[in-house]
Amino acid sequence: MIDLHVHTTASDGQYTPTQIIEKASEHNIGVIAITDHDTIGGIEEGKKAAAQKGITFVAGTELNINFPTGEFHLLGLGFKKISPSLTALLDNLVKNREIRNQQIIQKMRDGGVDITLEEMEAMFPNTVLGRPHFAAMLVEKKLVKTRQQAFDRYIAKGRPWYVQRVGSNLDEAIVAIKESGGIPVLAHPMSLYLSWGKLPDTLQNFYERGVVGIEAYHPGARVTECLRLDELGRKIGFIITAGSDFHGEKVRSDRRLGHTCGGKKIDDKIWEEIKDLII
C-alpha cells in the first residue's frame, strides 16, 4: 500500500510525523508522503522515522493557490532540497495565514467568544494555524459539539466568522516546487468546483504551465469521478497520483490511511508508474 497525501501536527493533522509513520508501518504502507498545508515542518522528523521503519518517504507539502472558484491545492512531491524560492513562498503563505487568523479571531470576539491568538498558539504549538484549529477550539469551549458543526455554523464559506484565504500564484508555486526537486500535482481536482465541460481546458492550461500530475484518486470524490479524472489526466499527459488526505480520526473520521475514494486501498501500481519521477 501507498499514500501520497497525509497531514501531521505540523499543520492540521492529529498525529505527529513519527506517529504517522508508526501507523503507516502498522498498516503495511510501504510508501508515504507527508504533505502538510503550507509548511515543510514535519518532513525531517517523518524522514527519520520512515528510515527506521524501512518505509519509502516522500517529502512534500500542500500549497493553497489563488483561484476564482472552489479550492485549488497544489501538492509538491519528492523534494530533494528546499530552494530559496520555496522558503520565500511558504513564509509568505504563513504571513497571510497569520493575518487571516487575526481577522477570524476578531470576528469571533465580536460574536462574544473570549479567544486570543496567544491562547490558540498555546493550545496548538509548533503548527501552522488554520480553520481546523479554530473548530477544535470551539469544541473545547463547548460552543459546538463537533468540529464539523463549528464549520457548518461559523467558519465555513458563507458563515459569519469566515475569512477568505490568500494563496500563492500558481506559476510561482510551480517554479518553487521544481527548484526544490519536486513535482507539482493538482490535489483533489473536484475541489476546483468546475463543471466537467470546463475541466478539460482548465487542466490542459495547468499542464502547459508546468503542473506534472493530478491526484485523480481522493476520498472526497466518487469512484466514477476518480476513474473519469484518471482517463482525462492521462489523455492530457499528467501522471496520476492517489492519496487518503488523512488528518486523523478525530479530525476526519471518514478517511483512512492508505485508502482513497470508495474506501479502496491505494494500488501500488500507481507508485510503480511514477516513482522514477519522485525518488
pLDDT digits (tens, 9 = 90+) for 35-72: 999 999 999 999 999 999 999 999 999 999 999 989 99
Q: What is the pLDDT of residue 125?
A: 87
Q: Rounded to an integer, what is the distance from CA 162 to the centroid of its chain? A: 19
Instruction: Say what the pLDDT of residue 277 is.
Output: 93
Between CA 242 and CA 185 the distance in angstroms is: 10
Residue type present at position 206: F
**Low-confidence stretches of the chain (pLDDT beneath 70):** none
How many angstroms separate the CA atoms of 35 and 116, rounded?
28
Would you state the pLDDT for residue 165? 85
Nearest residue to 35 (alpha-carbon basis) of 246, 197, 189, 272 = 246
Could you tell me what percent of the chain has a pLDDT over 90? Answer: 89
pTM of the model: 0.92
Instruction: Please report the pLDDT score of residue 279 as a whole number.
Output: 84
Helix (H, G, I), strand (E, B) or coil at 223: helix
207-245 pLDDT per residue, tens: 999 999 999 999 999 999 999 999 999 999 999 999 999
